[in-house]
Amino acid sequence: MKKEVLIIALICLLPLLMEGCSPREITRKTDVLVIGGTTSGISAGLQSARLNVPTLIVEETDWLGGMMTAGGVSGIDGNHNLPSGIWNEFREKLRATYGGAAALATGWVSNTLFEPHVGDSILKAMAKETAQLSVIYGYHLTSVIKNENKVTGAIFEDEQKNKLTILATVVIDATDLGDGVAMAGAAYDLGMESSSVTGEANAPEEANDIIQDLTWVATLKDFGPGTDKTIKRPKNYNPEIFRGSCSLTTDPALIDCQKMLDYGRLPNNKFLINWPKKGNDIYINVVEMNWSQRREELKIAKELTLCFIYYIQTELGFKNIGLADDEFPSADKLALVPYHREGRRMRGMERFTINHIIDIYGEQPLYRTGISVGDYPVDHHHACNPETPKIKFPKVPSFNIPVGALIPEKIDGLIVSDKAISVSNILNGATRLQPCVLLTGQAAGAMAAISVLNNQNVREINIRKLQQTLLDAGAWLMPLYDIKSTDREFQPIQRVTASGILKVKGESYQWANRTWFYPDTTLTVKEFSEGLNAFDSKSVISEDQTIITVQKASYQLSAFLNRDASTEIRDLWNKRMQRRYDPHLQITKRELSTLVDELVRPFETRSIGFDGNYR
């Protein structure tokens, strides 16, 4: 009898039990949705929310920061001398945590190395203290919602198949591989474009679908002398794959395994394992696979990294160095996500190429629309795919990314912020690094917020107002090596050089390229008149080749403004300059930028298009 009663009770409860176990469906609304709490995703979310616009980040993992935290690439490449915006803010918090800049210079790959979990905790703290920013963890993107040609939201799913629908005014695709771009139906490129498409002399004659090698990163830890942290021998282990990983030059006799490990030495006796030469780089193209297929295919990358760790421990003799037990909350202790160097690249309102960097004052002055800065050389990882065409990468100066590279050519309501921005395959090798991506995300967040606040389409945004918003947030528009954000004339010089009135000079320099303003130098009257003419073609070019003086600058500016500006200039000089007013003084570029910015007001008097030309 008791048994029958129990069976009846279970039958009655079964529908309720099933209902409790069925996947949930949640719908939320926000002004700005950021798909992915990646390197660009967190900076986009922070900047958007700081402009007092409700912003929501949906992130697949439990971490924020993407490749530089969850992906384990916590040795920062580039921008050491370009402390712009949220990148500088993040770096200063790292320095405060570890006890100064020197405490982060632990490995020879970078001046800034840190433990991934520390980076995640800093970014989470920054998110927590930002009132208008919310983060939902544990959901991956499954589809994008569109109303005709406009993206209006996205749908996500977690491991239990629970469904999350987010409706938004503006959506930012911050995914590593540009998944939102593809799901939105925006045009994109995958692999190497032909030279006929990009106009780059270094691009291959024929297009292909080859992308850069990826890496599943690990963080190792020195557990001290006498310890043995050797992992279980991986199933497909083959030590021959890693022979030569300690050869740091073309001379095979020069072997230094400790130096190989010190490449990515982190604070607290840890090591970043992201080694390209016969290490754990691997060629796998998972871009067009779905979420489940990728997870399965990427197990190969995980296994290769475990094999390399086993090789380090056994063949190289570092048994005391094992997988860090206080970093990633994963079963295998590897990074939470792979390090994708390349994925889809959207076709944007502008395609940013090497040509735009090599000659910024050429036919397409995209530098005028810059919103993110970088100084890293073009660096591609292709050693694992023998079918890759051999390309000689050109030397480049530091650069800025144009705003048109973040906006799809035809799809509305969508901004792209990570590696899927509209750049050529070649140039992706310079724009993909952590600080540059972080700053591109900050610009995307500012753009989204301004679009919401002004109730306008993203592609209708006032570029100069966006740039000024970024300047006010501490971000740089021009990658000037010799004018820091602490400089008294930082903003005027940024505006005047971004307007093209005063020119800069780029330089390829080792692994940290430069662009110089030379603030204490002078220029000729003709050079200054050419700059004013570039800003407004109605301005007459002078043939005077003498060095410009305060008096001659007054003549030029008065003619440009169509009024006598001499009194204004003298008053401004006495108020702002460090030298006594003398009309016969040869004026420096710094002083001239102050006068131009104050009197011409280049960001207020002329609007600019995404192609960099004045309207």
- pLDDT digits over 254-306, tens only? 678 999 999 999 999 999 999 999 999 999 999 999 999 999 999 999 999 99
Each residue's pLDDT tens digit, 416-427: 999 999 999 999
- Domain extents for the chain? 26-201+342-472, 214-323, 484-615
Extract the tokens encoding 517.
């303003």
pLDDT digits (tens, 9 = 90+) for 79-137: 999 999 999 999 999 999 999 999 999 999 999 999 999 999 999 999 999 999 999 99
Question: Which own/partner pairs from 527-533 qualify as long-range (CB within 8 Å, at least 24 positions apart)?
Answer: 527/503, 528/502, 528/553, 528/556, 528/592, 529/556, 531/500, 531/501, 531/502, 531/503, 532/501, 532/556, 532/560, 532/600
pLDDT band at 368, cuts 50/70/90?
very high
Distance CA 334, CA 220 (A): 9
Report residue 490 as tokens.
Answer: 């930082």
Question: Predicted confidence band at 55 (pLDDT cuts at 50, 70, 90)?
Answer: very high
Per-residue pLDDT band at 475 (split at 50, 70, 90): very high
Q: What is the pLDDT of residues 550-601, one digit of tens each?
A: 999 999 999 999 999 999 999 999 999 999 999 999 999 999 999 999 999 9
What is residue 157's predicted lDDT score, i.e. its pLDDT? 98
- What's the pLDDT at 9? 44
Q: What is the DSSP letter of 404?
A: G
Q: What is the mean pLDDT of the chain?
A: 94
For residue 394, the model assigns a pLDDT of: 87
Confidence of residue 249 (pLDDT cuts 50, 70, 90): low
Model confidence at 7: pLDDT above 80: no
C-alpha to C-alpha distance for 312 and 269, rounded to whole angstroms: 16
**Gyration radius from the chain CA atoms:** 27
531 pLDDT higher than 80: yes
Superfamily grouping for domain 26-201+342-472 = FAD/NAD(P)-binding domain (3.50.50.60)
| pLDDT for the residue numbered 1 | 42
Mean pLDDT of 465-479: 98
Whether 57 and 34 have beta carbons less than 8 Å apart is answered as yes
pLDDT band at 250 (very low <50, low <70, confident <90, very high): low
Q: In the structure, what pLDDT confidence band is assigned to residue 408 with cuts at 50, 70 and 90? A: very high
Tell me the pTM. Answer: 0.94
**Which tokens belong to 308?**
């390399």
What are the pLDDT digits (tens) for 343-366?
999 999 999 999 999 999 998 999
The CB density around residue 474, as the number of other CB atoms within 10 Å, is: 16
Cβ(217)–Cβ(272) under 8 Å? yes
Beta bridge partners of 272: 219
Mean predicted confidence (pLDDT) in 431-448: 98
pLDDT in tens, 9-39: 444 444 444 445 678 999 999 999 999 999 9
Q: What is the mean pLDDT of residues 601-613?
A: 97
Please give the helix or strand (H or E) that residue 272 lies within, else none. Answer: strand 270-273
534-562 in b/e form (b: 16+ CB < 10 A) is: bbeeebebbebeeebbbebbbbbbbbbee
